A = this chain, B = another copy of it.
């Protein structure tokens, strides 16, 4: 009995149409990356677990796909490894014994590993992009997959804010080309650090950011409540509250924040880190203006609005400077792109003090936005241009050299593989969206001509077989 074929939960097949649409996204993104001087690298899907474990928190460790050692994976494992007290198995220890490798969980940690491993072959600042699948043993659900693509662009070995500027320009250019209006939210981790310092809880920066990150979803009161639950005092919350309701232009926000960080808060505390974060942010918005990107103004000079959002935190603890997040204005799907600066990413692999900044485009969500807004171009080269209908052996012999010439000119040509009824061949062209069909019989063969019909307009022209330029013109 034959098996009913299926694929694992959370994975997908991509049809020819979907692959063409996905390639359109990848090609648009990588084309923009290239104009900014970034070049592609690839790393293996399989990494040593020692490279991956501990880099994504306890939750991340659980979501790693582990690969059973090849050969006899269980041969070196004694019965004592299978149980702890009470005949239960120590699954975590056991899986470490029988699995040394895992599937890539993101592109950032493998990139850090790459930089350290190849540091002597790399010219810094090193600008690379990487478009590859990653795997996570997450619970599959709508819009969340176990195998999905990330498109990462990072520069490492330069602290200049020109890099942050260019990343925002890349975002603007990509979504402008894709026809998606977006808002780029910018914050700075040092400002968040500053907040924790001026409210007197410098060790609570994570608690504070986790709480304020939710303000769009739960509102001001709930955020204040959560901060209290997380151990902040009433006075501390009172210091932070004005930040959460800050209004005005970016310049006005920065000015108000600067006063606050400079000892102007309710507790009179000052934060050097916060002031540095504000300097960086002001400088970045200045560069954006000079390069022709609006700050806080949708649609001017690009597809994007850029705004300062002091509640933007993103979960990742390794950001040390700018933090970015991009949302589509007209389609509710969460963040479609995000990133930030990290000062010590390669430190975990033994190369300290190399600062980098990067962003990651979520190709799958961008796909959903383009589908939802019906923004995919109509001409994604899903089908061939011309079908040679074939009525018999003589006609086949006649068209084969012509098919060859047209293909060598880059035209996508199909020769119907066996003599069949014309209706069947027309149906084939129709189903595969082939716009031109060439039907030739003894008359065309005798006169050395080629008959081509445009299936959408109905126009039909007969060319001398040698008139390749004329044929190419009609097909284009």
Q: Is the CB of A94 within 8 A of B74?
A: yes
Q: Is the CB of A70 within 8 A of B63?
A: yes
Does A249 belong to the interface (CB within 8 Å)? Answer: no
- Across the interface, which residues of B come within 8 angstroms of A349, CB to CB? 2-5
**B-contact 0/1 string along A37-53, CB 8 Å cutoff:** 10111111111101100
- Across the interface, which residues of B come within 8 angstroms of A23, CB to CB? 40
Does A459 belong to the interface (CB within 8 Å)? Answer: no
Q: Is the CB of B67 within 8 A of A68?
A: yes
- Across the interface, which residues of B come within 8 angstroms of A63, CB to CB? 70
**B-contact 0/1 string along A343-380, CB 8 Å cutoff:** 00001111000000000000000000000000000000
CA A417 – CA B23 in complex, angstroms? 31
Q: Is the CB of A412 within 8 A of B44?
A: no
- Residue among A14, A16, A48 with max Cβ neighbours from chain B (10 Å): A16
CA A67 – CA B36 in complex, angstroms? 38
Q: Is the CB of A43 within 8 A of B13?
A: yes
Q: Is the CB of A117 within 8 A of B5?
A: yes
* Copies of this chain, whole number: 2
Q: Which of A20-74 contact B (CB under 8 A)?
A: 20, 22-23, 31-32, 34-37, 39-48, 50-51, 62-63, 65-68, 70-74
CA A128 – CA B45 in complex, angstroms? 24
Q: Which of A289-327 contact B (CB under 8 A)?
A: 290-292
- Across the interface, which residues of B come within 8 angstroms of A407, CB to CB? 32, 35-36, 169, 173
Does A262 belong to the interface (CB within 8 Å)? Answer: no
Q: Is the CB of B73 within 8 A of A95?
A: yes
Q: Is the CB of B37 within 8 A of A414?
A: yes
Q: Nearest chain B CB to A103's CB is how many angstroms away?
A: 7
Q: Is the CB of B83 within 8 A of A79?
A: yes
- Across the interface, which residues of B come within 8 angstroms of A40, CB to CB? 16, 19-20, 23
Does A259 belong to the interface (CB within 8 Å)? Answer: no
The stretch among A158-166, A199-207, A214-222 that forms the contact with chain B is A158-166
Does A341 belong to the interface (CB within 8 Å)? Answer: no
CA A169 – CA B405 in complex, angstroms? 12
- Across the interface, which residues of B come within 8 angstroms of A36, CB to CB? 407, 412-414
Q: Is the CB of B5 within 8 A of A37?
A: no
Residue of B nearest to A66 (CB): B68
Residue of B nearest to A99 (CB): B68
CA A27 – CA B97 in complex, angstroms? 41
Does A114 belong to the interface (CB within 8 Å)? Answer: yes
Q: How many residues of A contact B (CB 8 A)?
A: 118
Residue of B nearest to A64 (CB): B70
Q: Is the CB of B384 within 8 A of A44?
A: no
Does A422 belong to the interface (CB within 8 Å)? Answer: no
Does A125 belong to the interface (CB within 8 Å)? Answer: yes
Q: Is the CB of A75 within 8 A of B46?
A: no
**B-contact 0/1 string along A109-127, CB 8 Å cutoff:** 0000110111001010101
Does A85 belong to the interface (CB within 8 Å)? Answer: no
- Across the interface, which residues of B come within 8 angstroms of A160, CB to CB? 417-418
Does A190 belong to the interface (CB within 8 Å)? Answer: no
Q: Is the CB of A382 within 8 A of B39?
A: yes
Q: Nearest chain B CB to A40's CB is how many angstroms away?
A: 5
Q: Is the CB of B48 within 8 A of A7?
A: yes
CA A251 – CA B68 in complex, angstroms? 53
- Across the interface, which residues of B come within 8 angstroms of A146, CB to CB? 46
The stretch among A239-247, A393-401, A446-454, A460-468 that forms the contact with chain B is A393-401
Does A178 belong to the interface (CB within 8 Å)? Answer: no
- Contact check: which of B41, B137, B155, B287 meets A70 at CB < 8 Å? B137
Does A404 belong to the interface (CB within 8 Å)? Answer: yes
CA A133 – CA B133 in complex, angstroms? 11
Which residues of A are at the interface with B, using a C-beta cutoff of 8 A? 2-8, 11-16, 19-20, 22-23, 31-32, 34-37, 39-48, 50-51, 62-63, 65-68, 70-75, 77, 79, 82-83, 87, 89, 91, 94-95, 98-101, 103, 113-114, 116-118, 121, 123, 125, 127-128, 133, 135, 137, 146-147, 155, 158-160, 162-163, 165-166, 169, 173, 287, 290-292, 347-350, 381-384, 390, 396-397, 400-401, 403-404, 407-408, 410-415, 417-418, 428, 431-432
User: 19 other contacts beyond A11-B45, A45-B147, A159-B418, with CB at 8 A cut-off?
Assistant: A3-B348, A3-B350, A7-B51, A7-B117, A8-B46, A11-B46, A13-B118, A14-B43, A19-B39, A19-B40, A35-B408, A39-B382, A45-B135, A46-B147, A70-B137, A73-B91, A79-B83, A160-B417, A169-B404
